[in-house]
Structure 1
Amino acid sequence: MSNFLFATLDAGGNLPPALGIGRELLRRGHRVRFLGHAQQAKAVEASGAEFIPYRHAAPLEPAVAAPAHRQFAAMLNVFSDAGIGRDLVEEARREVPDVAVVDCLLLGAIDAAAKAGLPQVVLVHSFFAFFDGPFRRGPMGAVLSLKGLPPRRVVGRAERVLVCSDRLLDPAGSRDGGASGLNHRGRVVWSGAVVDDVGSEAGPPSANGSPPRVLASLSTTAFPGQQEVLQRILDAASGLSVELVMTTGPAVDPANLWAPANASVHRYVEHSQIMPGCSAVIGHGGHATSMRALAHGLPVMVLPMHPMLDQRMVGKAISDAGAGVLLNRKSSPEQISTALTALLESDSHRKAAAVVGARLRKAAGAEAGAQVLTNLAGRIGPDSGSR
């Protein structure tokens, strides 16, 4: 039995891949602990893993609305947070893990683990092309570099970089040498998207639903203007022959939205319970929800909410694969309505989503990711003589 210590943060779609791999490790009989923000305790404990709250982490409240510059500052504080690194190292000293698995955004913790000599895997929960591209080269990466945490150098000290995404959709994985900056000795590996709550026999949606059901769900983070986008989606559904199910998460109060007769708005509904009966999904390009929708064989409409994040890249990859459409977040209700009607009527989008979905399910990302970790633990564990 090996011992794994995960370090994560409350940033929405980054947690499900880690939990999926954690559940698979537990199923195989391994010890799994999660360090995280207090509000993550319920989700982690529901997976069966042990949860340890950070004691020295900077505050993080992603569901609280704030101007863009304050959100940037809050994210920067967490990504570079020495307190999280301190908690990770202290917990590892209390009970030594075979491998520490650290979220790719926690550059401060990755750096602290490397300096403490902890064997670690960096978990990338979206496209590697974004993390090692726009993130690294953009404003966030530039400021992190000024703080002594250049992403490529820091992450390059890990034993492995585990990318929980589909290699063919990820622009870095679909071209040879795309990860060359970090990939010496095969350091960067793709597990496939972690969609372990989607059955292996899930298939494409029926084209004959009457009316077709559409799930609409944007980010759990309170991005500026998100409530207005949700309202335009509801307005777009008015008059269409669809059943729209919308989930707002903690970022938007459903009471602040007007819903037409053919729509229902909920704070939370488990997406894995809704998607099997859906014909399409409308989202913001969050990697976790987008991959889960595709794993169900559902075409996806993407309206990115933040220009500095991975959302547009995810939406473009889905569009390029023929499995959905990419719109602007400022699209009018009429534009959303027209695009949704076309998406629902399109055999080509439905067939392309089915092809991608079958590939995601076959990859079994949680199992593949767990195997990468157990192989590494076996090579560098305390009884292997490799430390």
Structure 2
Amino acid sequence: MAQLSNPQARLRILVTGWEGGGNVPPFIAALRGLVARGHDVRLIADDSMKAEAIAAGARFQPWTRAPNRPDRSPASCFVRDRDIADPIAAFRQWTDRIFVGPAQDYALDILDALALKPADLMIGSDLLFGGMLAAEVSRVPLVLLAANISLSPLPGHPPFGPGFQPAGNAAERARDAEVAAAGEALWNQALPTLNAARAHFGLAPLARVLDQTASAGRCLLATSRSFDFPVVQMPDHVRYVGPLLEEPSWVAASGHRAIGDGTRPRALVSFSTTHQGQDEVLRRIVAAFGQLPVSAVVTLGKALEQLAIEAPDNVGIFGSASHEAILPSVQVVVTHGGHGTVLRALRHGVPLVVMPMGRDQNDNAARVEYHRVGIRLDPTASPSEIARAVQDVLADASFAEQARRMAGLLAAEDSSVDRLLTEIEAFAAGHRAETLERAA
């Protein structure tokens, strides 16, 4: 990418981040691109992200009042999804502990950083309401970066969470409206906390939690329009920039030996980088591959790298390995449905078996089904059911054909980092022009 030709276009950018597993690589990719472009970039985030931020060329500040994960060990997780069977209860904990509950502390840390050194622009997470609050208080223009699909449903899309397909009739539209209202009510349980934080800064109360997102001038979706459901009409402030698929820093450049004799199909198994109680699911998947004439590589990730699983000869289990190195020789991916894993597989034209366990995974699985690039399977499926799903994906050539078609669509899109930079710089330029016009 080209450096800025006009030094006056160089931006002082404060990026706000938090350690949520799969949301980290897209933010590190954004940091790397902004620095390479010539912008002055700071990241304020959890200490677990420090080394990656510095390696990307950004300066780093840790959260001091706000929650701060020192590392990526399971013990330091803000919310232990693995111990919470009810997804609504898990969402409540995330809301109370990260998204909204500590909004005042996040905002105070950000305002301190801005007092230390002003910024022309803030880039924040679409889930970190304290960052949005700080932008409103400081009047620094804000761009939200969504690490995957849109949290707020786009026109014609079902509500986020359950993994619905787009509504095709009146009953499904009524279903969507009912679920959307329930989701709104769930967010609004945190409204007293958010309004108390706003009162601390002398701001008027809001009627709904999601109204706080109006403090952002842009929301950039780090997913592909080709992968998403069709959109009736994009809101003007929301833009697709494409998936930012930087591999995590802890991924080994290699670290997997060849499994099998090269004549059998190969599979990659990858579940969350954070602990979602996937131990037993992985054991059933490994047992399923013991029933199949398929060679499999299982990567455990940071959350489970010490997990001991007895595996048959056709299955290799590794704490970490580069998916980019493995995927060119793979015919099927079995995954929880994290956005990065799904889009990386599709970029290589590999179909999937998706076993969603929460967060955005149901919605990613719904899109996999919609585009017929794989099969969605319940995470409680037995080894025999898992083996049957893998066999179905391998035996039905249409899945591979559709996955290769999706790979072609993704390849035809411009570089995601370039699109991200274009949107950020255009937004900053437009804001600067409006400010000068008002001053005149």
> Could you state the TM-score of these two structures normalised by the residue count of structure 1?
0.86
Taking only the aligned residue pairs, the percentage that are identical comes to 26
Pair 1:268-2:268 in alignment: no
5 Å-filtered alignment, 1:140-289, equals 140-148=186-194, 150-171=208-229, 174-177=230-233, 183=235, 186-195=236-245, 210-224=263-277, 226-289=278-341
Amino acid corresponding to residue 105 of structure 1 in structure 2: L
Matches of 1:10 and 1:3, distance apart in 2 = 23
Name the residue aligned to 1:111.
Answer: 133
Matches of 1:106 and 1:129, distance apart in 2 = 12
5 Å-filtered alignment, 1:2-17, equals 2-17=11-26
Q: Does structure 1 conserve the Cα–Cα contact (< 8 Å) formed by 2:194 and 2:209?
A: no
Shift of 1:281: 1.4
Name the residue aligned to 1:344.
Answer: 394
Matches of 1:231 and 1:130, distance apart in 2 = 35
Q: Does structure 1 conserve the Cα–Cα contact (< 8 Å) formed by 2:13 and 2:42?
A: yes
Give 1 or 2 for the bigger CA radius of gyration: 2
Matches of 1:244 and 1:333, distance apart in 2 = 15
5 Å-filtered alignment, 1:348-363, equals 348-363=398-413
Shift of 1:323: 0.8
Q: Choose from 87, 91, 99 the match for 1:79.
A: 99
Amino acid corresponding to residue 282 of structure 2 in structure 1: L
Q: Choose from 67, 73, 77 the match for 2:83.
A: 67
Q: Does structure 2 conserve the Cα–Cα contact (< 8 Å) formed by 1:7 and 1:36?
A: yes
Q: The residue matched to 2:115 in structure 1 has which SS? A: helix
Q: Which has the higher contact order (CA 8 A, sep 6+)?
A: 1
Matches of 2:98 and 2:90, distance apart in 1 = 12
Name the residue aligned to 2:175.
Answer: none
Matches of 2:345 and 2:367, distance apart in 1 = 14
Task: Give 5+ residue unaligned stretches, structure 1.
Answer: 198-207
Name the residue aligned to 1:33.
Answer: 42
Amino acid corresponding to residue 288 of structure 1 in structure 2: G
Q: Does structure 2 conserve the Cα–Cα contact (< 8 Å) formed by 1:229 and 1:330?
A: yes
Q: Does structure 2 conserve the Cα–Cα contact (< 8 Å) formed by 1:98 and 1:382?
A: no
Q: The residue matched to 1:256 in structure 2 has which SS? A: coil
Matches of 1:43 and 1:131, distance apart in 2 = 31
Task: Give 5+ residue unaligned stretches, structure 2.
Answer: 1-9, 162-179, 196-207, 248-260
Matches of 2:307 and 2:73, distance apart in 1 = 20
Matches of 1:374 and 1:283, distance apart in 2 = 36
* Per-residue deviation, residues 265-290 of structure 1 (Å, max 9, x unmatched): 12222222222222221111111211
Matches of 1:33 and 1:344, distance apart in 2 = 46
Q: Does structure 2 conserve the Cα–Cα contact (< 8 Å) formed by 1:62 and 1:222?
A: no
Pair 1:20-2:66 in alignment: no
Q: The residue matched to 2:223 in structure 1 has which SS? A: coil
* Per-residue deviation, residues 32-82 of structure 1 (Å, max 9, x unmatched): 222211111233233232222211122557733552157842553111222
* Per-residue deviation, residues 279-325 of structure 1 (Å, max 9, x unmatched): 2211111112111111111112110112xx21111101011101111
Q: Does structure 1 conserve the Cα–Cα contact (< 8 Å) formed by 2:45 and 2:68?
A: no
Q: Does structure 2 conserve the Cα–Cα contact (< 8 Å) formed by 1:379 and 1:386?
A: no
Matches of 1:91 and 1:345, distance apart in 2 = 56
- Range moving further from structure 2, 47-56 or 101-110: 47-56
Q: Which runs of 4+ in 1 moved over 4 A?
A: 59-62, 69-72, 129-132, 381-384
Shift of 1:236: 0.7
Matches of 1:101 and 1:108, distance apart in 2 = 12
Pair 1:374-2:425 in alignment: yes
Distance 1:79 1:129, change over 3 A: closer
Aligned length: 366
Distance 1:146 1:280, change over 3 A: farther
Name the residue aligned to 2:5.
Answer: none
Q: Does structure 1 conserve the Cα–Cα contact (< 8 Å) formed by 2:274 and 2:303?
A: yes
Distance 1:348 1:129, change over 3 A: farther
Name the residue aligned to 1:305.
Answer: 357
Q: The residue matched to 2:74 in structure 1 has which SS? A: coil
Q: Does structure 1 conserve the Cα–Cα contact (< 8 Å) formed by 2:226 and 2:409?
A: no
Name the residue aligned to 2:110.
Answer: 88
> Could you state the TM-score of these two structures normalised by the residue count of structure 2?
0.76
Matches of 1:59 and 1:2, distance apart in 2 = 27
- Range moving further from structure 2, 350-359 or 62-71: 62-71
Matches of 1:362 and 1:4, distance apart in 2 = 30
